[in-house]
Structures are given as structure tokens and as C-alpha cells.
Amino acid sequence: MREVIDAALFMGMHCADEPIRLACKAFFVERLDGSVLMSQEQVGRCDALVWTYGRADQDAYYPFMDNLHTVLRIERPAYTEDDVRTALDEPALKDLPMPERLLMGMVLATGSVLRTPNPRLAARTDLPVKPLSAAGETAFPEPLERMYGESLALRVPTEFLEER
């Protein structure tokens, strides 16, 4: 089954909450030889967040992000008409904020599963969402691990993990 990731999972590697950071990092370390799907809108949410930080934090963060996007095969499609129709028509999605509805519309329309630390989505047992497992410290291969360590100058508050 295809795994879809969201901005919460990607930025969760830089979460100020250490157990969340470790679980998100482990997710990516374990999939370096695989691929995941992340909508263009979710990629944009990551950039929008990083751009709220100062230049020094951005400069520390982007080398890691750029290299991870090169090493890990992340497919970045736009939402399709089927994704949007599913988001608007699926009764189980009606109570979610629109960004989460669109994301889940893609997940449902593609027959995938969402991997996320987003607490609202991770709690939904009626949707194809698989929460992250607790993890200890893992390491990317070098030089990615060194870049990751430097990128931790940027830390994301846990509030970012849940859509508004």
C-alpha cells in the first residue's frame, strides 16, 4: 500500500518535542530506499513554515531538506479532480479543516495510507491513517546525517502538527 506523508511528518523531524522528532526521523531513515507520496500543497506548507524563520535558520535547514528530497524518492503530485471530489463528497471528512480534507481525499482516491504525527488525524480509526511508532535515535547515512544535525537549528512547535 502506498504511503502518503504530510507536512506534519516532514517538519516533525524538526519538532521541539523530542519523541515526535525521533519518530518522524526514524520514518524517513527507514524509507531511504523506497518512495513516498506528498502532495504539492503539503510541500508548500513546509516551505511556508520555514520561511517564517530567520535567514540563518533557513540556511541551516535547506541543505538537509534539498538533499533528502534527492536521496528519498518523494513523488509530489498536484491534487487531481478525483482527490478533490473525494474530499468534498466523503462524509467522514466533513469535520476536517479543508487542507486535511484535500489530503485525505488524495489518500482515499489513491487507495493509500497516510502516515502522520498530526494528533487529530492519527486518532481517526475510521480513515486510512497509520500513526507513527515511538523510536530511538536513528541516523541517516553521511553526509545527510551531518546536514540533518546542522538543520536542527530550526525547531518546529508541536502546534504546527495539526491543521487550523
pLDDT digit string, tens, across residues 37-95: 999 999 999 999 999 999 999 999 999 999 998 899 999 999 999 999 999 999 999 99
- Cα dihedral 160, 69, 72, 3 sign: positive
pTM of the predicted model as reported, rounded to 2 decimal places? 0.94
- In CATH terms, the superfamily for domain 3-153 is 5'-nuclease (3.40.50.1010)
The mean pLDDT of 19-46, rounded to a whole number, is 96
Domains of the chain by residue range: 3-153
Whether residue 163 has pLDDT greater than 90: no
- Cα dihedral 39, 126, 10, 45 sign: positive
